Chains A and B, each alone.
Chain A
Amino acid sequence: MKSSMGKWFSPVILIVLLLLLVALPAYVPSEYTVILITNILMYVVLTLSWAIFSGPTGYISLAPAAFFGVGVYASAILSSDLPLPIVAPIGGAASFVLAYLVGSLTLRLRGMYFTMFTFGLVELVRNSLHWWEVNITGTVGRLIIAADNTTVFYAMVATFLAVLFASYLIRRSKFGLALRSIGESEEAAAHSGVNVNRVKVVMFAVSAFFMGATGATMSMRWTYIDPTLAFSIQYSFMPVLMAIFGGMGHLYAPVTGATIFSLLEEFLTTKFPYYYMLLFGLTMLVVILFMPYGLEGVIEKWRKKIKTGLRDGHETT
C-alpha cells in the first residue's frame, strides 16, 4: 500500500517542484533569492556531475575545479561575441575534451594515480593560463560581458535539468550497470564484455562537460576573472564534500547534500569568512569517519527500520 503510494508521490512532487523552480523569478520578491537559487543550482550541478563518474566507479576525481575553470575561461573569451546559450555548451565541450585527454592518459592506472593527477590539474591549468596571459597575451585577467541575473538563473536551471536527466538516464541504462560493475571489480567487468577503459574515459568526460557548462554560465555573473579566481581548489572540494555528505546512491542524495551546504555557505560566508571553510573541512573529517554512506545512509537505514517495523509478522530471508 505504502509503496504504491510512494510511486505516485515522487514524479508528481518532482514536477511541481520543477515548475515552481522555473517560474521562480516571476513570484520572488528580490533579486537576491534568484541569485541564491542560482548559486545552489551551481553546486547541485557540480555535485551531480561529480557523482555521475566518481560515485559508481570509486575513482575519486579532484578535478571539478579545473573543468569549472575551463568553462569560466571559455565564457570569458567568447562572451563578447556569442550569447550564453551557445557559450555554455562550448565551455562544456572544452572541458569534455580536456577530461577525455586526462582520462585516456590516467584512467588506465591505479585509482590513486588518477586522483593525484586530477588534484594537480587545477594548479597546472591555472599556472599555464597565468603564464600564457603574462607572456603571450600581455594582460592578466579578462573582463566579461556579464549577463543579467535572470538569464543566468534560467541557464543554470536548464543545466540542472540536463544533468539530472543525464544522471537518471545513465543510471537506468546499461552504462550505469557498467559503471557500477567497474566500481566493484574491473577485471570481472572486463570479462563480462565491458570495454572498461572506454566506459571510464567517456563517463569522466561527460561529467566534465556539465562542470564546464556550469563554469561558463556562472562566469557571466562576474565582471572580471583571472586564473586565480577561475581556478580555485574550493570548486573541487565543495562538490566532493556535498556528495560525500549527501550520499550517492539515489539521485536525491547529492542534490540534498549540495542544497544544504550551499545554503550553509551562503549563510556563513558573510559572517564568518574563513571559519566556514574551516567548519566544512571539519565536516568532511567527521562524515568520512562517522557517516561513510552520508546522510543518505542514515536516511535509508531509517526507511528500512520503518519498513520492517510495518511488516511485523513477515519473515524475510
Chain B
Amino acid sequence: MVVQFLDIAIGGLLTGGIYALIAVGFGLQYGVARVLNIAHGEFIMLGAYCTWTLFTSVGVTPLVSMLFCAPFFFAIGFVIYRIYYTPLRKSSESPAVFEGNSMLASFGLLFVVQNLALITWGSPVKGYSYLAFPIQLSGAVFSANRIVTLIASVFLGSAFYVFLLRTRIGKAIRAAAQDPGAAELMGVRINRVLALCFGFGVMMAALGGLLLSMTSIMLSPVMGMQYTLIAIIVVVLGGLGNIKGSFIGGFILGLVGYIVSSSQPGLSMVAYYVIFLILLLVRPTGLLGK
C-alpha cells in the first residue's frame, strides 16, 4: 500500500518537476512580458534536440550541456524579444491589442521554429539513452535519469526563486509584473526587463526540454505543442504570475498525469484538459491567484 502510494507520489513528482519548470518559464513570458507564447513548446523541443545533438555527435552529457544551453537559449529569447516584440509593443495601440498581436506572432513563431527543426533534424523520431539504470526507492523502481531530472528541476526552480527574491534584477522583474507603469517611473528599464523575462522563459523551456530528453522519451519536431498546453494549464492552475503556484500546479498535474497514464495511457492530455475546463469554470484565477 505504502509502496504503491510512494510509487505514485514519486512518479508524479518526476514528471511534475519538468512541468513546473516549463510553467514558470511560460508564466514569466505571459505574466510579465505579456506575451502568450504559444511557441513555448517549440523551444522545449529545441532544447531537447540540442541536447540530443550534443550528446550523440559530440558526446557531451546532458547535465554538462546545461552550461551551454542555458545561456544560449536565454540569449535567443532575449534577442527575439528585443528585435520583434519590443517594436511590436511600441506600435500596438493598447496593452490589449499587444496581447492579441503578440499571441498571433507567437503562432507564426511556432511554425518558424518547428519547421527549422524539421529541416535540421528531419521528421523521424530520435532518442538517446543516458543514466538509464534503475534505482530502487522504498520498494518502487525508477530510472536514475528521471530522478536526476527531478533533482535538477527542483534545483533550477529554487535557484530562480532565490534569484527573483534577492537580486536587483529579480526585484525589477517582480515590480514589472505587478505594475509596469509604476516600475518604469521608479527607474526600472522596462524594455530590458521584459526582454530578460522572455529570455528566461525560453531558457527554462529549453532546460525543460533538456531534462525531458534525458528521460528517454522519443523526440519529434512536433512534440512541442502538448507541452505548451501543459504549461498553459499549469500556469492557470497555479495562478497567473505566481511562481510558487506554477511549481505546485506543475507537481499536481504531474501527479494526475502519472496516475492517469498508469491506468489509461493516452488519456493524460484529456485529464489535463478536464482540469483546465473545471478551473476555467470554477476558479479562473487559479489556486494561488488573486
| A contacts, CB < 8 Å to B | 58, 60, 62, 105-106, 109-113, 115-117, 119-120, 123-124, 127-128, 130-131, 134-135, 233, 237, 240-241, 244, 274-275, 277-278, 280-285, 288-289, 292
CB-CB under 8 A for A120 and B276, given A281-B115, A282-B112: yes
Given contacts A113-B284, A117-B276, contact A240 B112 (CB under 8 A): no
CA distance A204 to B232 in the complex (A): 23
A281 to B105, CA, bound (A): 9
Query: What is the CA–CA distance of A277 and B118 in the complex, to the nearest angstrom?
Result: 11
- State the 7 A-B residue pairs at the shortest beta-carbon distance, nearest first: A284-B108, A281-B111, A281-B112, A278-B115, A127-B269, A120-B229, A131-B266
What residues of chain B lie closer than 8 Å to A285, measured between beta carbons? 84, 105, 108-109, 112
Q: Are A284 and B105 in contact (CB under 8 A)?
A: yes
> In this assembly, does B61 line the interface, its C-beta being within 8 Å of a C-beta of chain A?
no
Complex Cα distance, B236 from A191, in Å, reads: 30
Q: Are A284 and B104 in contact (CB under 8 A)?
A: yes
Q: Which A residues touch B112, using CB under 8 A?
A: 278, 281-282, 285
Q: Which residue in chain A gives the minimum CB-CB distance to B101?
A: A288
| Inter-chain contacts of B88 with A (CB < 8 A) | 288-289
Known: A120-B229, A274-B118, A285-B109. 7 other contacts (CB 8 A): A112-B103, A115-B103, A127-B266, A135-B264, A241-B108, A274-B115, A285-B105
Closest to B87 in A: A289
Chain A positions within 8 Å of B113 at CB level: 281
Q: In the bound complex, what is the Cα–Cα distance between A62 and B108 (angstroms)?
A: 12
Q: Do A292 and B101 touch across chains, with their CB atoms under 8 A apart?
A: yes
Distance between A174 CB and nearest chain B CB, rounded to angstroms: 26
B156 within 8 A of A: no
B237 to chain A, nearest CB (A): 12
Query: Please, which residue of chain A has its CB at the minimum distance from the CB of B85?
Result: A289
> Which A residues are CB-close (under 8 A) to B103?
60, 112, 115
Cβ–Cβ < 8 Å partners of B270 in chain A? 124, 127-128, 131
Contacts A116-B36, A278-B119, A289-B91 given; indicate if A105 touches B108 (C-beta within 8 A). no
Provided the pairs A105-B281, A134-B266 are in contact, do residues A112 and B99 lie with their beta carbons within 8 angstroms? yes
Interface residues of B (CB under 8 A from A): 36, 38, 84, 87-88, 91, 99-101, 103-105, 107-116, 118-119, 225-226, 228-229, 232-233, 236, 264, 266-267, 269-270, 273, 276-277, 280-281, 284
Given contacts A240-B107, A277-B111, A284-B104, contact A113 B280 (CB under 8 A): yes
Contact A111 B107 (CB under 8 A): no
Contacts of A280 in B (CB 8 A): 108, 111
Offer 17 A-B interface pairs, CB within 8 angstroms, sorted by A. Answer: A62-B107, A105-B281, A113-B236, A115-B36, A115-B103, A116-B36, A119-B228, A120-B229, A120-B273, A124-B269, A127-B269, A274-B118, A277-B115, A278-B112, A284-B111, A285-B112, A288-B108
Check if B229 sits within 8 Å of A288, measured CB to CB. no
Given contacts A282-B108, A285-B105, A288-B104, contact A120 B232 (CB under 8 A): yes
CB distance from B68 to the nearest CB of A (A): 25
Given contacts A112-B99, A127-B270, A131-B267, is CB(A278)–CB(B105) below 8 Å? no
Docked Cα-Cα span, A274 to B91, in Å, equals 31
Chain B nearest CB: distance from A108 CB in Å?
9
Given A123-B225, A123-B269, A275-B115; A283-B108 close (CB under 8 Å): yes
Q: Closest Cβ of chain B: how far from A289's Cβ, in Å?
A: 5
Tell me the nearest residue of chain B to A290, going by C-beta.
Answer: B91
Q: B272 CB to closest chain A CB, in angstroms?
A: 9
Q: Are B100 and A109 in contact (CB under 8 A)?
A: no
Which A residues are CB-close (under 8 A) to B116? 278
* Alpha-carbon gap, A134 to B91, bound state (A): 49
Q: Which residues of B contact A119 (CB under 8 A)?
A: 38, 228-229, 232
Q: Please indicate the chain A residues that have their CB under 8 angstroms from the CB of B264 in the complex.
A: 131, 135
A120 and B275 alpha carbons, distance in the complex (Å): 13
Q: How near does chain B come to A261, taking the closest CB pair, in angstroms?
A: 13
Q: What separation, in Å, do the CA atoms of A117 and B233 have in the docked complex? A: 9
Q: Which residues on the A side are within 8 Å of B108 (C-beta)?
A: 241, 280-285, 288
Q: Which of A106, A113, A120, A134 neighbours the largest number of chain B CB atoms within 10 Å of its CB?
A: A120
How far does the Cβ of A170 sit from chain B's closest Cβ, in whole Å?
Answer: 22
List the A side residues contacting B232 at CB < 8 Å. 116, 119-120
- Asked whether B225 lies within 8 Å of A60 as measured between CB atoms, the reply is no
List chain B residues, Cβ under 8 A from A289: 84, 87-88, 91, 105
**Inter-chain contacts of B107 with A (CB < 8 A):** 62, 237, 240, 284
Give min CB distance, B201 to chain A, whole Å: 16
List A contacts of B111 (CB < 8 A). 237, 277-278, 280-281, 284
